[in-house]
Every structure is written in C-alpha cells, then in structure tokens.
Amino acid sequence: MHEGRTVFAQLMEWLPRYELAKCVERYRGDFHVRSLSCYEQFLVLAFAQLTYRESLRDIETCLRALSPKLYHSGLRCRASRSTIADANEKRNWRIFHDFAQVLIREATDLYAGEDFGVELQAAAYALDSTTIDLCLSLFPWAKFRRAKAAIKLHTLLTLRGNFPTVIIVTPGKVHDVNILDDLTFDAGSFYIMDRGYLDFARLHSMHQDQAFFVTRAKKNFRFRRRYSNAVDKKAGVRFDQTILLTGFYPHQHYPDPLRRIGYRDPTTKKDLVFLTNNFREPATAIAALYKSRWQVELFFKWIKQHLRIKAFYGNSDNAVRVQIWVAISVYVLIAIIRKRAGLSQSPYAILQILSVTLFEKTPIFQAFAEHQPLPETPDMQNQQCLPGFLTGQ
C-alpha cells in the first residue's frame, strides 16, 4: 500500500538503493558532505528530468513550492541552486555512470526475450552517435570547430527493448570509428553500424572476437568475388556473394572472406549493399537487421525531445556527464517499471502522467490505470514505425 506517499516516493522505491550506496562508497561521494548526499542529488536531478525543469533556479523554485511534500520523498535537506551546482561540479560523475550500468544490466535481463521484429536467437545491438551542440564560450573543454562546441553520445543500443547498454560521452571532434577500440564485443552477438564505422582493421578484430557485424559498403571499395549464392529476387535480394578484399591495405587488415549482400528496399526503391562476416543467417534477415538500426535514431530523437540533455545545469565536463547519466538512469528506470508492471502506456505517456502526478498521494499504478493511452499524434506515429520500448508496443 502507498500509505499516503507521493507518486515520486513510490517511483524512487524501484531504485536499488544498496547498489547506489556501493557506487557512492566506491568513489567516496559522500565524504565530508554536510548537505545534499549523492542519493538526494540523484533525486533532485531525477525530479528535474521528470518535470522538465529548465535551470537550477527553476529547480529551486519548484522544490521550495513543494517543500511540505519533500521530506517523505527522500529529500531531507533544502536543495538551493548553489548546493545543487556545487554537487554537480564536485561529485564524481562515475558514481552515476556505474549506477546507470546497474539499471542497464537489470533491464537487459528483463528484455532478454523481447521480440524486435527479426527472427534471431542471438543478441543484436545498434551502434551510432548523436551530437549535442554547445556554446563554445560556456563549454571551452568541448571545442568542436573554430567557433563551436559539442559533445557526442556514442551509444550501443540493444534492439531487444531499445535501451542503451553502453554510452560513451566524448567531445564532438572524436570520430565515431575510434569508439570501436573502447567496446567489448560478445561472441555470437550482432552489431549493426553505418558506413562511418567501416574500418577493416577494427572489423577484423571484432571478427576475431567471434562477434558478427553488419554494415554498409562504400561505393569505391575493391573486392574479388569468390562465390555467389542463389537468391530470391522477389524478396528484394539482388545478390549474395562471398568476397575477398583486394585493396592493398584493406586485404592486409581483413584477409578473411566477407559476405556481400545486395538488397532493394521495397519502400524507398533504393539499392543497398551490406557487408557482414555472418554466413549463416538468410540474406533477408541481414537486411532486416540493418533496417532495425533505425531504432537507435529513434532513441536519439526520443531522449532529445523528452529528457533534459540539450540544456545543462552546469558548464563543466563533470556536471554535463552527471546530468546525462542521471537522464539515462531515469530512462532505463521507466523501461524497468514498464516491463515489471506490465504497463500498456507508451514511454511518452508514462512521462506525461508522471510529470503531472509526481507529488500526488495516490498509488502509482492507480495513476497509470486512470489514464488511458493518449491518442496518436503525427509525431507519435513517426516514432511508432518500429516495434519495441520506444514505440510502446
């Protein structure tokens, strides 16, 4: 029973407090802290994410207005904007990074059997990055171009559930392909990437780890056909070839055979050419896997629209990373609750319901039960073009 507790307090009960405490202890986050512990800092930033607060002053004003309800929600101290700013600047961002990884592991187990539209037993991930523009005068540490600053979120998204398993935050000038050096690849899993990650030395390293990749071929790459498989052109497959690279450096970097698949998209009528090191799955499954890569684009669009990761509450590298990891934790927490509670609402609807009921004293699942799924808008229909957590299907 909720016993008169607010929706926010009930929501935060889903957090594994013991795991957060271990992360705080690991980096001595509460050492010599007199007010606003790391847990309370997380609550404040989660509140800001769920209610779309735009600045520290905005957060402070709203928390003061809700002060009679804060104590029983876990906030035992007065959170002024200077206190929040100091915490964001000085508390190690790895505390919230490690805690987000705990939530991600829990969500991964929950969604392990989730269907994502492709008949595949192995795990499948989409790798891509998105750029968040910043003001160079306020964020000089993130210099991107001569008069521009930016950061990149390099994201490995599991297609079973559509939530991130790895996020690496870098300055905007870091090229996407370099992130392959920082990832650990699971044997037997599929990794879907666009042509920005086409580096044969790194792909061969992935191949040696017994992981599978699917990417697009560039128009000018040189190869020699070794064998052609029979294809069903009615399914859109134009060719299915086993090839060897013939360019001097590409052949040295990737001496093993590759599979080259031609596919005509029935919707756009565009001809696409895929490269993969998997020779077992049907060519249509490889094409469907690459099409599922669009889920990571939907993920970027969704978090930019519904989470506070485009405007930041602090200007330092540490403050930016703290806010990003709390935002990701909130996103994954919603995924966990939605799966465990069997909620039918889309993530968009869940966030909207929470934003207006956060400090009401009502059972949290009653709040969701009283709100029927929202009518689809054109924007929501665009987001629902693929199945999974993002689409609420």
What are the tens digits of pLDDT across the range 1-27? 455 688 888 899 999 999 999 999 999
For residue 262, the 8-state DSSP code is: E
CA distances from 96 to 26, 126, 341 (A): 11, 23, 25
For 286-302, what is the mean pLDDT? 91
Question: What's the pLDDT score for residue 182?
Answer: 94
Asked if 287 and 274 count as a contact pair (C-beta separation under 8 A), the reply is yes
Asked if 1 and 361 count as a contact pair (C-beta separation under 8 A), the reply is no
For residue 30, give both structure tokens. Answer: 């509460």
CA-atom Rg of the chain in angstroms: 23
| 336/276 Cα distance (integer angstroms) | 33
Q: Which amino acid, residue 92?
A: N
Question: What's the pLDDT score for residue 393?
Answer: 37
Q: What pLDDT band is residue 377 in, cutting at 50, 70 and 90?
A: low
Q: What pLDDT band is residue 125 in, cutting at 50, 70 and 90?
A: very high
| Residue among 321, 196, 178, 204 nearest 258 (CA) | 204
Q: Is the pLDDT assigned to residue 171 strictly greater than 70?
A: yes
Taking 3-state DSSP, the helix, strand and coil percentages for the chain, each rounded to the nearest 5, stand at: 45, 20, 35
Q: Is the pLDDT assigned to residue 385 strictly greater than 80?
A: no
The H helix count followed by the E strand count for the chain is 15, 10
For 72-94, what is the mean pLDDT? 86
| Residue among 262, 277, 258, 265 nearest 212 (CA) | 277
Question: What's the pLDDT score for residue 392?
Answer: 43
Per-residue pLDDT reduced to its tens digit, 305-324: 888 888 899 999 999 999 99
For 375-379, what is the mean pLDDT? 51
Q: Which residues pair with 169 in a beta bridge?
A: 153
Per-residue pLDDT reduced to its tens digit, 174-223: 999 999 999 999 999 999 999 999 999 999 999 999 999 999 998 888 99
Asked if 176 and 158 count as a contact pair (C-beta separation under 8 A), the reply is no
Q: Which amino acid, residue 193?
A: M
Report the 3 state secondary structure along 16-32. CHHHHHHHHHHCCCCCC
| 103/333 Cα distance (integer angstroms) | 7
Break the chain into its structural domains and give their ranges.
Answer: 7-96+314-383, 194-279
Asked if 239 and 261 count as a contact pair (C-beta separation under 8 A), the reply is yes
List the single range of 70-74, 131-135, 203-207, 217-221 with lowest mean pLDDT.
Answer: 70-74
Q: Is the pLDDT assigned to residue 152 strictly greater than 90?
A: yes
Q: What percent of the chain has pLDDT over 70?
A: 92
Per-residue pLDDT reduced to its tens digit, 275-287: 999 999 999 999 9
Q: What pLDDT band is residue 389 in, cutting at 50, 70 and 90?
A: very low
**129 versus 219: which is more confidently predicted?**
129
Question: What's the pLDDT score for residue 381?
Answer: 46
Per-residue pLDDT reduced to its tens digit, 320-363: 999 999 999 999 999 899 888 888 887 778 888 888 888 888 88
**188 versus 120: which is more confidently predicted?**
188
The per-residue pLDDT of the chain, averaged, comes to: 88
pTM (2 d.p.): 0.86
Q: Which residues pair with 307 in a beta bridge?
A: none
CA distances from 316 to 89, 170, 380 (A): 7, 13, 34
CA distances from 66 to 141, 281, 318 (A): 36, 56, 28
Q: Is the pLDDT assigned to residue 299 strictly greater than 50?
A: yes
| 98/94 Cα distance (integer angstroms) | 6
Question: What's the pLDDT score for residue 120?
Answer: 85
